Structure 1
Amino acid sequence: MQRPKPPFRADQVGSLLRSPAVKEARTLRVAGEITAAQLKAVEDAEIAKLVARQEAIGLRGVTDGEFRRSWWHYDFLAGLDGVGLVSVAQGLQFKGTQTKAEGLHVDGRLGFPATHPMLGHFHFLKSVAKATPKMTIPSPTALHYRGGRQAIERSVYPEMEPFFEDLGRAYAQAVRAFGEAGCTYLQLDEVFVAYLCDPAQRDYLRSRGDDPDRLLHIYADLVNAAVSGRTPGMTISMHLCRGNFRSTWMAQGGYEPVADVLFNRMGVDAYFMEYDSERAGGFEPLRMLPKNKHAVLGIMTSKTGALESKDQLKRRLDEASKFVPLDQLCLSPQCGFASTEEGNLLAEEEQWAKLRRCVEVAEEVWG
């Protein structure tokens, strides 16, 4: 049967391809040719249209497509007290391409300001949505994994333990603030727990002085600190991914090494799980999913425009249901369509066809 509350049988991760109007307005704003207020007016109009289209195809949870962001994570994190967006020597290296050369630097005590701009972003989304408005923010682990110790001023945090404590506290404040703003569906985009499944990423962490096994437990504590701020009636989901930039990827490896901690120690309600390629491994780790939680299977790719057949998607759901009851499963694309403003390499109509297909299959499978 369909679910009256999140996660929905047909759901989505969050980011959507930026419309031409938004892309043009953001380019003009960077060039100084329009004001911040003019950019916001364009974004408001485009987000209202975007939400209406999501509702029209039958999605029960709608997002603002992250239309006001440049990155899936840096925009939110740079809005925290004590964090700045800085230029770095080179961008992040994906398979065959590289991002803009930007990063984060922690130069003060961490906190969540009451004036954080994304609270306003949520208020607007809620004002134009008839369906459930879903807010997406990066998991707190994103502030540590990318830069590690080197991106955190030793004069502010000589030891790492107070850094993690302050980060967890700031996130609890953020989660509570979104809840008080009326958010009942919040998602933590958790890329880096999935990265801990990749032997190459684990070697990279060791090379910079981090123990990947210990990090998994530190990250679980961080997530739990964040969700401690939840308000009554709030569903918190977690999205797991191995990299999504211009249709490329960064990490690989099945969920087995992290599954027990992921499912049984992290206090979220649902997991959006990348499962669109062999890089994510098999469905076997789902056997550890507790009865009171849901897995939203990302068996449809957001990296290409080729539309999966209904039979193909149903076959994959059948395979997964050997390890976890179908009633604990939902369906979505494996990631957003535009984790950065550049977006993946597919057309807008291909994006909408995939989301429609998701809704159609969910209706046929769950009624």
Structure 2
Amino acid sequence: MLMANKLPLKGDHVGSLLRTEPIKQARAAFAKEEIDKATLKEVEDREIEKLVQKQIEVGLKTITDGEFRRIIWHHDFFSGFEGIEMIKNERKATFGGGNKPKPITIVITGKIKNHDHYMIEHFKFLKKAVDKYGDGTQVAKFAIPAPSVIMYRSFNEREKEIYPNPVDMFHDLGVAYREVVKALYEAGCRYIQFDDTTFTAFNDQTFTKRMMESTGLSKEEILDLMIKTTNDVLQVKPEDLIITVHMCRGNFRSKHLHANGGYDYVAPIFDQLHYDAFFLEYDDERSGDFEPLKHINRRDVEIVLGLITSKFPELEESFAIKERMIEASQFIPLENLAISPQCGFASSEEGNVLTEEEQWNKIKHMLQIAESVFGKVAANK
């Protein structure tokens, strides 16, 4: 099988991790203009180095920077392109329990272009730390939003003037993404994870209606455009670069936003998306059963089951998780399966409602289950 020889996906994680107290304090001080950007970076650098060491200590083979330098998983990245800015703006999105994220969003202010995206430096620092503290068996993994996430919002009238035809907007975005992927590869990156909140939302009528009103396109036209743009980016990746996708259903302060229901609608298109692995959320009943996985016919791809919740501290029963993996193997061969938490522990800097110790216990628990299902060697390949 292709993936088993390339990266340690049998026991993986989605990437974002709870911000440490020094990070929280420094970012709060920076927001109040009590410290400058250089001082903030010093704290971030120091805490990311500690985080890298902690991930290695607990047994992870894919190492991230926890997204410690970001306010939220996607806005910071998109604002690194020319023609996209992050602004203060009250967001309409309300997660379960009435939780509302910070009042920030992104807006398109001009033609979208890439010019020395600042997050390339973030990856370089991560890789240097992994090389320094690892033993050569770890890989630096960098998570960025998928191109289609640009649709995870409403377009204003000014943006429609800049891009009267959404096809042109996606074309420019695809070009910018290809340049970022190339730059990450040249910086030594061999594992990129795209995070995508749009494909899983196509069974949400409110979401799809908003996309249709913003673009003037039908649901099917939007889906086709998202698939094409994604594959245009993926087709240029080198043979030894892995690009996976986390099909996210929303995650903020241990609450979800959308996408109740199974993968019935989107699973049939997974074979059309040229990713190397799909991270799917399966930590509760709202994700449905495993039957939609029968539509995935590729055997050069891994399906990473998010059976461990990142929302709550309680550890899942190992036996129950193994039983669910056996159940999933009725539709996908066990050798094509892997396990992870269903989402990151901190999609935004606020983080989910559990402690750092509870977070690491979750990750260690997940790795132990992976080893018991796949064996020590396979789980660490």
TM bucket by the smaller chain? over 0.9
1:347 aligns with 2:358: no
The whole-number CA distance in structure 2 between the counterparts of 1:51 and 1:4 is 23
For residue 378 of structure 2, what is the aligned residue in structure 1?
none
1:36 aligns with 2:37: yes
Equivalent positions of 1:314-325 (< 5 A) are 314-325=322-333
Find 1:99's aligned residue among 79, 98, 101. Answer: 101
| Residues 105-127 of structure 1: per-residue CA shift (max 9 Å, x gap) | 1111111112x221000000000
Task: Decide whether the 8 Å contact of 1:104 with 1:143 is kept in 2.
Answer: no
Task: Decide whether the 8 Å contact of 2:151 with 2:198 is kept in 1.
Answer: no
**SS in structure 2 opposite 1:256?**
coil
Structure 2: gaps spanning 5 or more residues? 376-381
Amino acid paired to 1:196: F
**SS in structure 1 opposite 2:147?**
coil
Please report how far the alpha carbon of residue 91 of structure 1 lies from its aligned counterpart in structure 2 after TM superposition. 4.6
Q: Provide the TM-score with structure 1 as the length reference.
A: 0.95
The whole-number CA distance in structure 2 between the counterparts of 1:151 and 1:337 is 35
For residue 278 of structure 1, what is the aligned residue in structure 2?
285
TM-align CA RMSD: 1.7
Compared with structure 1, are the counterparts of its residues 308 and 152 closer, same or farther at alpha carbon in structure 2 (3 Å cutoff)?
Answer: farther
Task: Decide whether the 8 Å contact of 1:302 with 1:344 is kept in 2.
Answer: yes
For residue 198 of structure 2, what is the aligned residue in structure 1?
192
For residue 18 of structure 2, what is the aligned residue in structure 1?
17
For residue 218 of structure 2, what is the aligned residue in structure 1?
211
Please report how far the alpha carbon of residue 241 of structure 1 lies from its aligned counterpart in structure 2 after TM superposition. 1.2
| Residues 282-311 of structure 1: per-residue CA shift (max 9 Å, x gap) | 111211221111111001111111111211
Equivalent positions of 1:284-363 (< 5 A) are 284-289=291-296, 290-363=298-371
For residue 161 of structure 1, what is the aligned residue in structure 2?
167
The whole-number CA distance in structure 1 between the counterparts of 2:289 and 2:207 is 20
1:113 aligns with 2:115: yes
Amino acid paired to 2:275: V
The whole-number CA distance in structure 1 between the counterparts of 2:56 and 2:168 is 43
For residue 54 of structure 2, what is the aligned residue in structure 1?
53
Compared with structure 1, are the counterparts of its residues 152 and 238 closer, same or farther at alpha carbon in structure 2 (3 Å cutoff)?
Answer: farther
Task: Decide whether the 8 Å contact of 2:8 with 2:61 is kept in 1.
Answer: no
The whole-number CA distance in structure 2 between the counterparts of 1:152 and 1:55 is 47
Amino acid paired to 2:12: D
Please report how far the alpha carbon of residue 6 of structure 1 lies from its aligned counterpart in structure 2 after TM superposition. 2.4
Please report how far the alpha carbon of residue 160 of structure 1 lies from its aligned counterpart in structure 2 after TM superposition. 1.6
Please report how far the alpha carbon of residue 200 of structure 1 lies from its aligned counterpart in structure 2 after TM superposition. 4.1
| Residues 73-128 of structure 1: per-residue CA shift (max 9 Å, x gap) | 000001111001122244522122111121111111111112x2210000000001
For residue 145 of structure 2, what is the aligned residue in structure 1?
138
Bigger mean CA offset, 76-85 vs 304-313: 304-313
For residue 225 of structure 1, what is the aligned residue in structure 2?
232
Q: Provide the TM-score with structure 2 as the length reference.
A: 0.92
Please report how far the alpha carbon of residue 340 of structure 1 lies from its aligned counterpart in structure 2 after TM superposition. 0.2
Task: Decide whether the 8 Å contact of 2:151 with 2:211 is kept in 1.
Answer: no
Task: Decide whether the 8 Å contact of 1:104 with 1:147 is kept in 2.
Answer: no
The whole-number CA distance in structure 2 between the counterparts of 1:242 and 1:231 is 29
Task: Decide whether the 8 Å contact of 2:262 with 2:289 is kept in 1.
Answer: yes
The whole-number CA distance in structure 1 between the counterparts of 2:83 and 2:5 is 39
Compared with structure 1, are the counterparts of its residues 230 and 151 closer, same or farther at alpha carbon in structure 2 (3 Å cutoff)?
Answer: farther
Amino acid paired to 2:174: G
Please report how far the alpha carbon of residue 207 of structure 1 lies from its aligned counterpart in structure 2 after TM superposition. 5.5
The whole-number CA distance in structure 2 between the counterparts of 1:152 and 1:317 is 48
1:264 aligns with 2:275: no
Identity %: 41
For residue 246 of structure 2, what is the aligned residue in structure 1?
239
Compared with structure 1, are the counterparts of its residues 352 and 151 closer, same or farther at alpha carbon in structure 2 (3 Å cutoff)?
Answer: farther
Structure 1: gaps spanning 5 or more residues? none
Task: Decide whether the 8 Å contact of 1:244 with 1:335 is kept in 2.
Answer: yes
Bigger mean CA offset, 196-205 vs 67-76: 196-205
Task: Decide whether the 8 Å contact of 1:191 with 1:240 is kept in 2.
Answer: yes
**SS in structure 2 opposite 1:108?**
strand
Task: Decide whether the 8 Å contact of 1:7 with 1:294 is kept in 2.
Answer: no
